[in-house]
Structure 1
Amino acid sequence: MTTCRLTTAQALVRFLARQYTERDGQRQRLVAATWGIFGHGNVAGIGQALVEAGADEMPYHQGRNEQAMVHAAVGYARQSDRLSAHAVTTSIGPGATNLVTGAALATINHLPVLLLPGDTFATRPADPVLQQLEVPHAGEMSVNDCLRPVSKYFDRITRPEALIPAALAAVRVLADPAGTGAVTLALPQDVQAEAYDWPQEFFAERVWRVRRQVPDEAELEAAADAIRAARHPLVVAGGGVHHSGAEDALRSFAETTGIPVASTQAGKGSLPHDHPADVGGIGHTGTATADELARAADLVIGVGTRYSDFTTASATLFQHPGVRFVNLNITGFDAHKLAALPLVGDARTSLHLLTGILRNHRVAPGYESAYHEAKAGWEKQVSAAFAVDREEAPPTQTQVLGVLDATVTEADIVINAAGSLPGDLHKLWRTRSRDQYHVEYGYSCMGYEIPAAIGVQLAAPGRPVWALVGDGTYLMNPTEIVTAVQEGLPVNIVVLQNHGYASIGGLSESVGAERFATGYRFRAPDGTYTGDPLPVDLAANAASLGLTVLRAKTVGELREALATARASDRPTCVYVETETADTVSGPPPAQAWWDVPVAETATRPSAVEAREEYDRQVAARRRHL
């Protein structure tokens, strides 16, 4: 057997550089690049290995925050349809534990990222070493064990030769559409630098074919029978539509059957906003059209959705007495939710097959005309929310979205994750292309948007990328602005300054907590945070990190600033202080409930009233058995 003597870290980098995915005859690198911040736990191992490999074998990106590096990798993976991913390396200790939030986000959203944290010594030359977690009952435990519950695969490489099966298992999971997420290989710092005679076969090119699983024939016939029997069916399109590249297949299914299509946050854009069958977002942040159809639906056809509580309105949305579910999903776990007729398979393949079986079936004309009319009515509400009376007035948040909507084309990509923006976007945004709408709502992680924009830009060079962030999100994680400047990536960051956690402030008020501690303000004489807004200048901060900053005080200035940013070839920030929504321009209220438990006993009137409303809403919850 021919061998090659390398350190464990060198062998890992060489192995990763030779892994590929292939779907529909298209091949790409599985691990296209590595992000890293170096400390004593990885600088002499993975760091040296990356130097040894060079940029041709393994491109490298320098990050500023470990969590943000994972977000950038996730943004890249999502934009790459999960067919290509990035690795992230950190030192042991704080660097490793900073990965946990990003890992949770990746796994919850079923997006691949490879985590390579350093670990404490496998040989234990001293005990404890720097940054070692001492656990009296478990000597082998380290802080990296925090990553176990948020990883789809976890292994600790305590001997060089153990890397071979672990690395193969890791890339298998990364490339598995039904099982992907965060994959962690914890690398003790001494093992990283230890040499071993590796079999050359370990470094052979490997192609991991991404399967398009065909559904069971009996399941397919059962699904078709259920659709034929339904009078008011509704499709709920989730992120699996995008991951499978099933948008055209869904369009054909909808056009053949006349069944309307609502979308989750991850599934928005499965049909363009102006397609006759598209009825917009569904659930708590959905449109009135979609939610009314959901309440009356006697059959719900889930495609690539995991039915989060926002989608189901906390199990209060699907109210037809005899409602049934057909769930098309690549994973059996999600396909069986809500006591559904499961259809386990690839979304594109399964929709093609289902459309063929149903080629002579169509819903009643009255059903189609009714939802077309309702869709037109909702479009009028969107236009009203986007409407501008005076160009010289400060914009509301929804007017910001309206001006951006008028600025972009199908080439632009809009990124968001947290605050009140996801709700407004889900209800109002007019998605023009399959990948324009990039809202991370599986984990809804503040601080995701800016680093994710970098990852998206790396995956989609030449396309305008917009990160929409509120002031709360900006303050949590602005550091990767420096990376965008360093790499010359022309991402556009729109910062909306509303002086606090506005989304949670509104929620707090609705559940009787009176907006407690949600404003970014000085303390008032009574000790509450209700004084003047803090004199924080986020535009100056963004400029100090290297961005070109455009301040927009009016709608007219905003319109000009967005156009300038879109045409720029360097990273740019558009900073705008928003006015609160009024009757002229504000988002429509929630069209469905969301369960946030309210104090069962309280003395303050706001909480008492909120509990009464809570009890009324929760009475509509039902379990689909």
Structure 2
Amino acid sequence: MTCAELLIALLRDRYGADTVFGIPGVHTVELYRGLADSGLRHITPRHEQGAGFMADGYARATGKPGVCFIITGPGMTNIATAMGQALADSVPMLVVSSVNRRDTLGRGQGRLHELPSQQQLLAGVARFSHTLLDPAALPEVLARAFAVFNGMRPGPVHIEIPIDLFDAEVSAPTQWSAPAIHRPAPDPAGLATAAAWLHDAKRPLVLLGGGCVAAPEAARALVERLDAPTVTTINAKGLLGNGDGASPSPRHPLDLGANAALPAVRELAHDADVILAIGTELGETDYDVVFDDGFLLTGRLIRVDLDPEQLVRNQSLSLGLIADAGATLEALLAHFPTALLRQGQVRTAAALEALALPLDPAFAPFVPLFDTLNEVMPEAILVGDSCAPVYAANHLVTKSEPRRFFNASTGYGTLGYGLPAALGAKLARPDLPVVAMVGDGGVMFTLSEIATAVEERLPVVILLWHNGGYEEIRRYMAANGVTPIGVNLHAPEFQTLANGFGCLSTRVEDPASLAKALAQRPEQGPLLIEIDAHRWSTG
């Protein structure tokens, strides 16, 4: 086999890959030689950033790594932003790229697509970046990548292959099955201490992050046994849902949602005597989105994470367990055979009543938007960019299952994510409707991916919130006494552009017309629904 043929065979037969995102170029032609007959589906985005965001959406919707084939040089600088977002949110992504011939590496000869060091460039947005110098080492390097995905805190991995190695002959491995990787279980003594603290707590609080999404049943059972108010972060939305993806989930009576930055939840957090934080980095964009360092934990903090360094970041630690979130949730359950009674539901209800989210002027305009989506498309995966409806959805939306809501407003916070990530999610879950929530500013970063949606006949709904530019930054400038510059953008005729791509489009101004448009969405191909933000907000 050639090195390129072996790569494709390993991805398909050993690691179960079924989809590859990439834009072919002269440096990757040999990588594509055997792809047509491989059984792998190749998706061609219109920009490498789109490829990375599609792989991200694919991974978040399924838990499987998204795979990208990327060209040397500009292809790698283009995908770096998407890798940065995936790194921030611990999303598994395999980026395989070409690089210049081995005898030219680092010589600065002005070769096509040459960079001083691709590996150094990408190392900062990857769990690791590796240059393959011996084709016989490919199985080992791939095994290392999937060990990261399956055995530790995941994220992007970059493997670059010199162009003179793609057609190099290599022997097929004698063992084709993937190695079994088991994540660490919690230390028994540490677990017993954590359980004792939680048992004796008077005012416990639980913080569940995206690291818990593979164990919703255990998460729900544990918080009910602890009778503890629970923050579920943006990436953990749906963890405490009813598990019925076909209907909207009422908020669990112990679920505070992703509202840790709001006053009533901050008060609960400050007063909690024992806090259990599992699979969450306690990061700014989940717990301090108002950016005033006001999320304070004064009780004993128990943290569970696969990354030992993460245990000591952001908050003062009392007890740390380096362990898999799901295994820890299951193990803790054994210490609480019956439910404790500590007014958890009462405390949660009081906090939510004090927040009065549907009546908050910042959120109220979006309540009918999400009520309409719940009514017409309750089972939909909602994928968002950084835009006003997404900021509101982070607080308002509940889901019945995890992996049904994710966006780019956390962590790295890039623009242009929503549309291509929604396409990746739809490719991963063709059985579910998918909605991309985007703004008129951010969508311009990756608007060309409508062409990919049309080409692949993906029935994704694109909800475009048109508020005349970068509204959040405009308000932020005004609040800080800065004359608004660079935020009032000239907008194209989005419907004309969509139609030019072959995408159906319409404009709505109220919930009734939105419901009608959603109900009449095409079965094949995307639909762009433009919402005039001013008319929607003012009625």
Same-fold call, TM cutoff 0.5: yes
- Counterpart position of 1:211: 182
Query: Is residue 351 of structure 1 aligned with residue 326 of structure 2?
Result: no
- String of CA shifts for 1:170-197, please: whole Å, max 9, x gaps: 2322333x2421111112212223x224
- String of CA shifts for 1:39-70, please: whole Å, max 9, x gaps: 12112x2121324xx142x3322221111111
Alpha-carbon distance between aligned partners in 2 of 1:208 and 1:412, rounded to the nearest angstrom: 34
Distance 1:108 1:423, change over 3 A: same
Distance 1:175 1:484, change over 3 A: same
On the 8 A contact 2:510/2:536 being kept in 1, the answer is: no
Give the counterpart of 1:32 among 18, 41, 47. Answer: 18
Q: Letter of the aligned partner of 1:206 in structure 2?
A: S
- Counterpart position of 1:298: 273
Alpha-carbon distance between aligned partners in 1 of 2:535 and 2:260, rounded to the nearest angstrom: 24
Query: Is residue 59 of structure 1 aligned with residue 41 of structure 2?
Result: yes
Query: Is residue 78 of structure 1 aligned with residue 60 of structure 2?
Result: yes
Query: Is residue 191 of structure 1 aligned with residue 186 of structure 2?
Result: no
Alpha-carbon distance between aligned partners in 1 of 2:96 and 2:309, rounded to the nearest angstrom: 28
On the 8 A contact 1:297/1:323 being kept in 2, the answer is: yes
Alpha-carbon distance between aligned partners in 1 of 2:349 and 2:340, rounded to the nearest angstrom: 15
- Corresponding residue SS for 1:290: helix
- String of CA shifts for 1:189-240, please: whole Å, max 9, x gaps: 12223x2241442xx3222434253200111112112213322211111101
Alpha-carbon distance between aligned partners in 2 of 1:483 and 1:292, rounded to the nearest angstrom: 47
Q: Calculate the TM-score normalised by the size of structure 2.
A: 0.90
CA RMSD, aligned part only?
2.6
Distance 1:132 1:175, change over 3 A: same
How far did residue 387 of structure 1 move? Answer: 10
Alpha-carbon distance between aligned partners in 1 of 2:165 and 2:505, rounded to the nearest angstrom: 46
- Corresponding residue SS for 1:479: helix
On the 8 A contact 2:362/2:392 being kept in 1, the answer is: no
Greater mean alpha carbon deviation, residues 269-278 or residues 461-470: 269-278
- Counterpart position of 1:551: 507
Q: Letter of the aligned partner of 1:459 in structure 2?
A: A
On the 8 A contact 2:407/2:417 being kept in 1, the answer is: no
Alpha-carbon distance between aligned partners in 2 of 1:148 and 1:549, rounded to the nearest angstrom: 41
How far did residue 276 of structure 1 move? Answer: 0.9
Q: Letter of the aligned partner of 1:549 in structure 2?
A: S
How far did residue 162 of structure 1 move? Answer: 3.9
- Counterpart position of 2:244: none
Alpha-carbon distance between aligned partners in 1 of 2:119 and 2:308, rounded to the nearest angstrom: 30
- Corresponding residue SS for 2:236: coil
Query: Is residue 276 of structure 1 aligned with residue 245 of structure 2?
Result: no
Give the counterpart of 2:455 among 472, 478, 486. Answer: 486
- Counterpart position of 1:438: 406
Query: Is residue 182 of structure 1 aligned with residue 125 of structure 2?
Result: no
- Corresponding residue SS for 2:144: helix
- Counterpart position of 1:370: 347
How far did residue 334 of structure 1 move? Answer: 2.2
Q: Letter of the aligned partner of 1:370 in structure 2?
A: R
Alpha-carbon distance between aligned partners in 1 of 2:506 and 2:189, rounded to the nearest angstrom: 59
How far did residue 457 of structure 1 move? Answer: 0.9
Matches within 5 A, 1:456-535: 456-520=425-489, 534=490
Alpha-carbon distance between aligned partners in 2 of 1:251 and 1:554, rounded to the nearest angstrom: 36
- Counterpart position of 2:303: 327
Give the counterpart of 2:525 among 551, 561, 570. Answer: 570
Alpha-carbon distance between aligned partners in 2 of 1:156 and 1:100, rounded to the nearest angstrom: 17
- Counterpart position of 1:607: none
On the 8 A contact 1:386/1:402 being kept in 2, the answer is: no
Greater mean alpha carbon deviation, residues 444-453 or residues 352-361: 352-361
Query: Is residue 316 of structure 1 aligned with residue 316 of structure 2?
Result: no
Query: Is residue 48 of structure 1 aligned with residue 27 of structure 2?
Result: no
How far did residue 143 of structure 1 move? Answer: 3.7
Alpha-carbon distance between aligned partners in 2 of 1:368 and 1:554, rounded to the nearest angstrom: 35
- String of CA shifts for 1:51-97, please: whole Å, max 9, x gaps: 4xx142x332222111111111111111112xx22321122121122
Alpha-carbon distance between aligned partners in 1 of 2:294 and 2:535, rounded to the nearest angstrom: 29
Give the counterpart of 2:394 among 398, 423, 426. Answer: 426
Greater mean alpha carbon deviation, residues 429-438 or residues 220-229: 429-438
How far did residue 323 of structure 1 move? Answer: 1.9
Give the counterpart of 2:211 among 229, 233, 240. Answer: 240
Distance 1:335 1:358, change over 3 A: farther
Give the counterpart of 1:9 among 4, 8, 14. Answer: 4
- Counterpart position of 1:527: none
- Corresponding residue SS for 1:190: coil
How far did residue 398 of structure 1 move? Answer: 4.9
Alpha-carbon distance between aligned partners in 1 of 2:153 and 2:357, rounded to the nearest angstrom: 40
Alpha-carbon distance between aligned partners in 1 of 2:140 and 2:61, rounded to the nearest angstrom: 29
- Corresponding residue SS for 1:171: helix
On the 8 A contact 2:440/2:491 being kept in 1, the answer is: no
Alpha-carbon distance between aligned partners in 2 of 1:560 and 1:352, rounded to the nearest angstrom: 44
How far did residue 445 of structure 1 move? Answer: 1.8
Alpha-carbon distance between aligned partners in 2 of 1:535 and 1:483, rounded to the nearest angstrom: 22
Return 5+ residue gaps in structure 1 as ranges: 1-5, 21-28, 134-140, 389-395, 521-533, 586-625
- Corresponding residue SS for 2:34: helix
- Counterpart position of 2:373: 404
How far did residue 289 of structure 1 move? Answer: 4.2
Alpha-carbon distance between aligned partners in 1 of 2:451 and 2:387, rounded to the nearest angstrom: 24
How far did residue 488 of structure 1 move? Answer: 1.4
Q: Letter of the aligned partner of 1:151 in structure 2?
A: A
Give the counterpart of 1:120 among 93, 100, 117. Answer: 100
- Counterpart position of 2:122: 147
CA radius of gyration, larger in: 1
How far did residue 426 of structure 1 move? Answer: 1.4
Matches within 5 A, 1:90-105: 90-105=70-85
Distance 1:264 1:407, change over 3 A: same
Distance 1:457 1:277, change over 3 A: same
Give the counterpart of 1:249 among 194, 218, 235. Answer: 218
On the 8 A contact 1:385/1:399 being kept in 2, the answer is: no
On the 8 A contact 2:198/2:226 being kept in 1, the answer is: no
Alpha-carbon distance between aligned partners in 2 of 1:160 and 1:535, rounded to the nearest angstrom: 49
Alpha-carbon distance between aligned partners in 2 of 1:219 and 1:237, rounded to the nearest angstrom: 19
Alpha-carbon distance between aligned partners in 1 of 2:457 and 2:231, rounded to the nearest angstrom: 38
Alpha-carbon distance between aligned partners in 2 of 1:369 and 1:11, rounded to the nearest angstrom: 58
Distance 1:258 1:186, change over 3 A: same
On the 8 A contact 1:299/1:326 being kept in 2, the answer is: yes
On the 8 A contact 2:119/2:129 being kept in 1, the answer is: no
Alpha-carbon distance between aligned partners in 2 of 1:167 and 1:349, rounded to the nearest angstrom: 26
Alpha-carbon distance between aligned partners in 1 of 2:372 and 2:533, rounded to the nearest angstrom: 13
On the 8 A contact 2:6/2:172 being kept in 1, the answer is: no
Alpha-carbon distance between aligned partners in 1 of 2:123 and 2:77, rounded to the nearest angstrom: 11
How far did residue 383 of structure 1 move? Answer: 6.3
How far did residue 506 of structure 1 move? Answer: 2.0
Return 5+ residue gaps in structure 2 as ranges: 242-249
- Corresponding residue SS for 1:198: coil
Alpha-carbon distance between aligned partners in 1 of 2:398 and 2:475, rounded to the nearest angstrom: 25
Alpha-carbon distance between aligned partners in 2 of 1:72 and 1:516, rounded to the nearest angstrom: 32
How far did residue 431 of structure 1 move? Answer: 2.4
On the 8 A contact 2:229/2:254 being kept in 1, the answer is: yes
Q: Letter of the aligned partner of 1:301 in structure 2?
A: L
How far did residue 404 of structure 1 move? Answer: 2.4
Q: Letter of the aligned partner of 1:198 in structure 2?
A: S
